[in-house]
Structure 1
Amino acid sequence: MTVTRRKIIGASLFFTLFGAMAILPPLILLFRFDGLVFGVPVETVYLFALWIGLVVGAALFGVILPRDEPMPPQDKTRP
């Protein structure tokens, strides 16, 4: 299976939409209960873990995604 530029761009779009939806209040409210992780509320841990995951994922997409190469100028004198 070859990974093309188009597939990587599609995956990065899905990643962005997933990150936006994961921050919406209905999903955050799933983690709203009286639990603590090392003295920090669970919803705060969820938000920071999500944030770190999104930053790492964006960095990986930045490395994986090939750069746009400018098109060489075309000779218009040839038919």
Structure 2
Amino acid sequence: MTRRKIIGASLFFTLFGAMASLPPLILLFRFEAIIFGLPVATLFLFGLWVFLVIGAAWFGYALPRDEPHQPAGEEPR
């Protein structure tokens, strides 16, 4: 994958995380089910958080470091 595609995917990932944590989507999980003693909405938010942390770590690993820009004609130090 090129740097440009990874940056675009990371932007989409950020927007997905923001949209997934908005109240209308969370309210879809607002019913009286209990899993492992926790409400489903709580498990959804925790699962979303774990997914976003793992995704951010992957993007941090996948994106190459920026090299300092050198004007044309100058030698590297």
Q: TM-score scaled by structure 2?
A: 0.91
Structure 2, unpaired ranges of 5+? none
Identity among equivalent positions (%) equals 70
Ranges of 4+ aligned residues in structure 1 off by more than 4 Å? none
1:71 aligned to 62, 66, 69, which one? 69
| Residue 34 of structure 1: aligned partner | 32
Alpha-carbon shift at residue 33 of structure 1 (Å): 0.3
Instruction: Report the aligned-residue RMSD.
Output: 1.2
Paired residues in the alignment total 74
Give the structure 2 partner of residue 50 of structure 1.
Answer: 48
Supply the distance in 2 between the matched residues of 1:36 and 1:20 (Cα, whole angstroms): 25
C-alpha distance after superposition, 1:45-74 (max 9, x if no partner): 000000010000000000001110112342
Distance 1:30 1:72 in 2: 52
Alpha-carbon displacement from aligned partner over 1:2-48 (angstroms, at most 9, x marks no partner): x1100000000000000000000000000000001100000000000
One-letter identity of the residue aligned with 2:36: F
